């Protein structure tokens, strides 16, 4: 715990130094126009208390996060809880779609050898397409078909999160050693029996590793999908509005909320992984 706290304290100290350095000229120009000549301590205090800083100080981000989550009703369009829920709903929908598609694709690749050479290169190549370029295309195309709202954002999130699940599960399904597979064959086990009793249990560590990456990617995908959609709600819309009006505190508080959201979801997956590991025993 001590090393973690030490690293966190160092990062916070660097953040404060960066805030002072980046906001110094703003304060100096404002004081020069006012004809004031503050000392060093006052200058540092002013750089850490700017209403529209170039780089907000940590305490400013925390204060804005508290104000926009705890002091506003959750139904308010200015509440980060409201925006986080909009993003979370799209991320979870995309996560479910991406995981289902990734697992199904991995099962097909493992059982149909030809698919590994024909499909796997396309799976890898799909991730070379920048999501910032793909998102507007998907949003516009689905909007022309009358599909708006949650579904386009969920598809973008699914596009980002199916890849780690598919790759991880292919590796996991092939994790059992050859001797175990030969033993199952000597018992005349069917493909289904081999899958459920051998391949699936062996793939669980790979599954949860892929799920954690996919969950974080799903949140990113949902936020990115909100940027070109002209969305009125969601963390992506909050970021976009903050950038339009130069509200850096709004931008950073939305980023902090997105990070907290991702960390919470990944943490819940970690708890589920431990529960499954205890249920499966040392093998898992």
80-111 and 113-126 helices, crossing angle to 10°:
150
Say which DSSP state 172 is in. H
pLDDT 10s digits, 122-148: 888 887 878 877 888 888 788 777 777
Nearest of 237, 85, 224, 86 to residue 156 by alpha carbon: 224
Nearest of 213, 250, 9, 212 to residue 127 by alpha carbon: 213
pLDDT value for 32: 85
Q: How many CA atoms, within 13 angstroms, populate the side-chain half-sphere of residue 44?
A: 6
pTM (2 decimals)? 0.85
pLDDT 10s digits, 180-233: 777 777 777 777 778 888 888 888 889 999 999 999 999 999 998 888 756 678
């Amino acid at each position: 715990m001590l090393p973690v706290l030490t690293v966190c304290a160092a990062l916070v100290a660097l953040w404060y130094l960066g805030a002072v350095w980046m906001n110094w000229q703003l304060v100096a120009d404002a004081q020069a126009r006012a004809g004031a000549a503050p000392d060093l301590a006052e200058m540092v205090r002013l750089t850490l208390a700017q209403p529209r800083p170039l780089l907000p100080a940590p305490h400013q981000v925390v204060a804005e996060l508290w104000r926009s989550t705890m002091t506003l009703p959750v139904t308010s369009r200015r509440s980060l809880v409201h925006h986080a829920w909009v993003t979370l709903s799209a991320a979870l929908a995309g996560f479910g779609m991406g995981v289902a598609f990734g697992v199904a694709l991995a099962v097909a690749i493992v059982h149909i050898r030809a698919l590994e050479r024909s499909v796997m290169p396309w799976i890898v190549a799909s991730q070379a397409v920048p999501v910032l370029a793909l998102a507007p295309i998907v949003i516009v195309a689905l909007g022309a078909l009358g599909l708006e709202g949650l579904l386009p954002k969920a598809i973008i999130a699914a596009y980002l999160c199916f890849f780690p699940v598919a790759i991880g599960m292919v590796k996991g399904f092939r994790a059992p050693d050859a001797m175990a597979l030969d033993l199952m064959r000597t018992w005349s086990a069917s493909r289904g029996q081999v899958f459920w009793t051998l391949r699936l249990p062996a793939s669980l560590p790979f599954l949860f590793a892929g799920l954690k990456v996919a969950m974080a990617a799903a949140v990113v995908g949902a936020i990115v999908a909100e940027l070109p959609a002209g969305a009125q709600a969601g963390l992506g819309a909050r970021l976009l509005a903050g950038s339009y009006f130069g509200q850096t505190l709004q931008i950073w508080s939305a980023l902090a909320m997105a990070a907290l959201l991702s960390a919470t979801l990944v943490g819940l997956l970690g708890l589920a992984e431990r529960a499954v590991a205890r249920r499966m025993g040392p093998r898992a």
